Structure 1
Amino acid sequence: MMGIFLLNLLVFILVLGIIILLHELGHFFVAKQIGVLCHEYSIGMGPALYKYKKGETTYSIRAIPIGGYVSLAGEDNNFAMIKENDTIGLRFDEDKKVSGIVLSYDLESEVIGKVKSYELFDRNKKISEDSDEVSGLYIELELESGEIVRYTVLDNAKYYYGKEKELQIAPKERSLNSKPKWQRFLVMFAGPLMNFVLAILLFIVAFAITGKPVQEAKIAKTIPNGPLASVVDKNFTVTEINGISITTWDELSKEIYNNPGSNITLKIEGKDELVSFNSNVLIHYLGVTNVGKEAEQLVIGSVGGTAEKSGLKPGDKIIEYNATPVTTWKELTTLVDELDSSERNVTLTVERMVNSSVEQLPVSYKTMPKDTFIGQGVNPYEVLIGVERATKFNLGYAFKMGFVSFG
């Protein structure tokens, strides 16, 4: 039991992780297309086990294998990691422009000073209300000598705040919350869209694997312990059923459905002898089936639901349904067909062996209305012969059914 629980938990984590990763990938992809700075795309949560940087983005694998995340500049708000009067260090490129803002005393700096003023977000911010001159990106430091120096900051300058810890600054044009509303909407919508796409792809793959059902009355294989299992094996075509010539699966299904719990005779293509067996009938509405009973008599093979709770047992022979005598499964299913769709009350009179004698016992119970079964996509009863319909690979069908099933 514990092994099954752990396996189910592992599968749950894996599936949830894939869903979240693709969700975040949607945000990440669209954000990159509209110029938003993406700091990190992470698989998993918690401490980083592996990091790889490509361009502006760090790709990481983290210790807790649940989902992941994408870190976008300006996703929450615009902020700087410094404030006035902070003591910081600076690193420069060859043109003496700031390429690094050092926040840790343990890291190397070319210049150290106290922040007097700065602008690391809006390069087009006016230096005063009366001037059209813009500030650009800058940091103004008071050096140890008392001199105040203004330094131009590069668009891709980075904060350094610990060993192997860095974060690129995000000017206004690279920040998500500075983008037009329609672009922000696209970034937010891309996550759920990826989940929709994943669902459609999974349906397409499923239908590609299972294939398109063939129109011919061709059976791929028989189900173990089914009515046909001991007679034929797999890959055969039915040409006649109960003496009626057929060519399609629909014709075969119709004739089977019209013979619940009855003897059925099939003629198989390429075989001279006929194949005879009794069909299985599962009456979901009544909670009974003939599975396990070969005779055409109305003997219950198994019972479930409220029918079982009310005292109905395997081996009981049904002789009346709601005071109407019945002798075959065909008669019983016909009465079920004729019922009002909202009818719930059931009384079955059965013959049961009690103390070496046969007794007639009424068993009454309530069932779900027929329209409830139908609303759940379940027929009030099914007639089965224990076979699987033949299919063939069809990519067009897989795509079509993928979208239809999703819708």
Structure 2
Amino acid sequence: MIQNILAFILVFGIIVVVHEFGHFYFAKRAGILVREFAIGFGPKLFYHRKGETTYTVRMLPVGGYVRMAGYEEEADLRPGMAVQLSLDAEDNVEKIDIQGSDESVDSVPVEVSSFDFDEKMYLTGRVGMDTEETTFNVNRDALLVEKDGTILQIAPKDRQFQSASLPNRMLTNFAGPLNNFILAIVAFTLLAFVQGGVRSDEARFGNVEENTPAAEAGVETGDRVLSIDGQDVDSWNEMVMIIQENPNEELSFTLETEEGDVYEETIVPSGVEVEGDTVGRIGVEAYMEDDFGAKLTYGFTETFFIISQIFTLLASFFTGGFSVDQLGGPVAIYATTEQVVQAGTVGLISWLGFLSVNLGIMNLLPIPALDGGKLLLNIIEGVRKKPLSQEKEGYITLVGVLFLLILMLLVTWNDIQTFFLN
């Protein structure tokens, strides 16, 4: 179980970090202030501040986020709060401590009445027991200590998300899924080199297992199946289907060796019980293409294949009806990870690539609160020549969050029933 948990955290953690790094990189590139880069959700376990950004690790390792200034964030500071101010040599505010942890003699206790960190850069409030209010100038790079102790930098308006150009905002929103596709390409390319080649789609024999019908018939690695019982065979999957459908039945194979010689051989597939059904097996593995070009291009071809399969599944929701059984959440990922761990490094790399593609596609769906929904709002803004009001965008995002929350609860409960209660 510990192995499974660690594998789940490792795989999911890599995918989330790579996804969020896409948003992080292009936000920084566009001049947007990234206040926090978080791995996980919930209470923070660890944080480190470097440059303008605070990096945090939080308790629940089921996701992460990049906190961009002015982007779906709610200020911790409000009028009426008691805070501790740290001032520089010119009496400008360089740190605002909401938590109240700064008890140094130089800190100034203030009850906040008003503030503006967007443009005017000031904070007004009553100092100590004074009845008169004092107004302090606030540095553009002043720090804010939140209630949980996380130190963030305040963000003037020109550093906020909405101040970036529309193309830069679109690229920042798209960068997360883009990084997932890049990660998948890298993972599948690495997989091809680790496993020594790429599985061929040809109906060609790979490794022939000992004491199996194929070994007894004398076939060899590299032999290509031209036909079975006179029926032309064009692919590995087609060959497998014919063999599986004919357990304990004589099949006449027309084969071609790697040297180009054609010969015929009769093979009787063994009957093997699989989930209550008897299927045929002859004891050969798929042929592995080990040339450098095939390994190098496998990342692209496999990623594209999975993307096409996902779109086929999504299309079936509209043509064949939607079912929660067709979806899987964190519980299903964990349950499947248990099987993947048994396959070792090859299984984990393959699973990493597969999940990364899935996360990239799912995030591009035009659902509010997902990256795809944000891109849709960007497109609407481009057509209208002006953004939606923050109020309307907030309502749309709230609807998306509620929809995703309900869907996640349904999917999670369905996964628990499928993997643990049945």
- Pick from 222, 240, 246: which aligns with 2:208? 222
Q: CA, structure 1 residues 163+28, in 2 after alignment: closer, same or farther (shift >3 Å)?
A: closer
Partner of 2:17: 21
| 3-state secondary structure, aligned to 2:225 | helix
Aligned-pair CA distance for 1:40: 2.0
Aligned-pair CA distance for 1:137: 0.9
- Pick from 176, 185, 192: which aligns with 2:170? 185
Is the CA contact 2:229–2:251 (under 8 Å) kept in the aligned structure 1? no
Q: Percent identity?
A: 29
Q: CA, structure 1 residues 45+77, in 2 after alignment: closer, same or farther (shift >3 Å)?
A: closer
Partner of 1:351: none
| 3-state secondary structure, aligned to 2:135 | strand
Query: Which amino acid is 1:204 matched to?
Result: T
Aligned-pair CA distance for 1:203: 3.6
Q: CA, structure 1 residues 145+237, in 2 after alignment: closer, same or farther (shift >3 Å)?
A: closer
Partner of 2:290: 392
Partner of 1:60: 56
1:221, 1:397 → 2: CA distance? Answer: 23
Is the CA contact 1:43–1:62 (under 8 Å) kept in the aligned structure 2? yes
The yes-or-no answer on 1:111 pairing with 2:83 is: no
1:149, 1:267 → 2: CA distance? Answer: 91
Aligned-pair CA distance for 1:81: 0.4
Q: CA, structure 1 residues 155+398, in 2 after alignment: closer, same or farther (shift >3 Å)?
A: same
Partner of 2:154: 169
- Pick from 168, 175, 184: which aligns with 1:199? 184
- Pick from 66, 69, 72: which aligns with 1:76? 72
Query: Which amino acid is 1:222 matched to?
Result: V
2:256, 2:142 → 1: CA distance? Answer: 80
User: Which residues of structure 1 form unaligned runs of 5+?
Assistant: 124-135, 239-251, 281-290, 293-300, 309-313, 315-380
1:264, 1:89 → 2: CA distance? Answer: 83
TM-score, normalised on structure 2?
0.53
Partner of 2:234: none
TM-score, normalised on structure 1?
0.55
Aligned-pair CA distance for 1:154: 0.5
Q: CA, structure 1 residues 257+30, in 2 after alignment: closer, same or farther (shift >3 Å)?
A: farther
Q: Which has the higher strand share?
A: 1
2:122, 2:292 → 1: CA distance? Answer: 62
User: Which residues of structure 2 form unaligned runs of 5+?
Assistant: 232-242, 244-249, 309-422
Partner of 2:230: 258
Aligned-pair CA distance for 1:90: 2.0
1:267, 1:398 → 2: CA distance? Answer: 26
Q: CA, structure 1 residues 277+57, in 2 after alignment: closer, same or farther (shift >3 Å)?
A: same
- Pick from 87, 90, 98: which aligns with 2:85? 90
- Pick from 115, 118, 121: which aligns with 1:137? 121
Is the CA contact 2:37–2:66 (under 8 Å) kept in the aligned structure 1? yes
Is the CA contact 1:220–1:391 (under 8 Å) kept in the aligned structure 2? no
Is the CA contact 2:34–2:68 (under 8 Å) kept in the aligned structure 1? yes
Q: Which has the higher helix share?
A: 2
| 3-state secondary structure, aligned to 1:90 | strand
